[in-house]
Amino acid sequence: MSSHKSSSNMTAIVIDDDKDTVDYFSAYLELKGIDVIGKGYDGKQAVDLYVELRPDVVFLDVMMDRFDGLYALEEIKKIDNCANVIMVTADLREDTHVKITSLNATAVIFKPFEMDAVMHAINDLYRIMVNKI
């Protein structure tokens, strides 16, 4: 397995059941200097990509068929409790928010997402990562 950590850029995987959203989101992140090293379309792929690629951050949709984002968040946190997982959702229900919080998501971005909100979450994450070094 080749290491994707050779550049100083933050690495990310993007998971959403809508391919256009994945492509748009990934293109935006790349423009902002973030290396998108994996793309997936359900929670199972999210977990598999996380294990294989170990990105700095996972952008994860909540509502997906078969394996949803909450499944993926829970599984990724079992693998690495310090994993940076930013949930992306249009689901404003209280119980969903409680689940996301209890599973220790790094941040939540609400759809339709404003790219300013995405960058704010990334900048917060970057500050946290720099302080860990």
* Predicted confidence (pLDDT) per residue in 92-112, tens digit: 889 998 999 999 999 998 888
| 65-78 residue pLDDT tens | 889 999 999 999 99
Q: What is the pLDDT of residue 129?
A: 78
Q: What is the pLDDT of residue 4?
A: 45
Q: Say how far apart CA 106 and CA 41 lie, in whole Å.
A: 20
Q: How many CB atoms lie within 10 A of CB 51?
A: 12
What would the two tokens of residue 108 be? 């939540």
What would the two tokens of residue 102 be? 């209890």
Q: Say how far apart CA 128 and CA 86 lie, in whole Å.
A: 14
Distances (CA, A) of 68 to 72, 73, 106, 129: 7, 9, 17, 27
Q: Where are the domains of the chain?
A: 11-132
Number of separate helices (H) and strands (E) present in the chain? 5, 5
Question: Domain 11-132 falls in which CATH fold?
Answer: Rossmann fold (3.40.50)
Pick from 132, 86, 127, 124: which is nearest to 108 by CA?
86
Q: Considering the entire predicted model, what is its pTM?
A: 0.87
Per-residue pLDDT of the chain (133 residues; tens, 9 = 90+): 444 444 578 999 999 999 999 999 999 999 999 999 999 999 999 999 999 999 999 999 999 988 999 999 999 999 999 999 999 998 888 999 899 999 999 999 888 878 888 888 888 888 877 776 5
Q: Tell me which DSSP letter residue 103 carries.
A: T
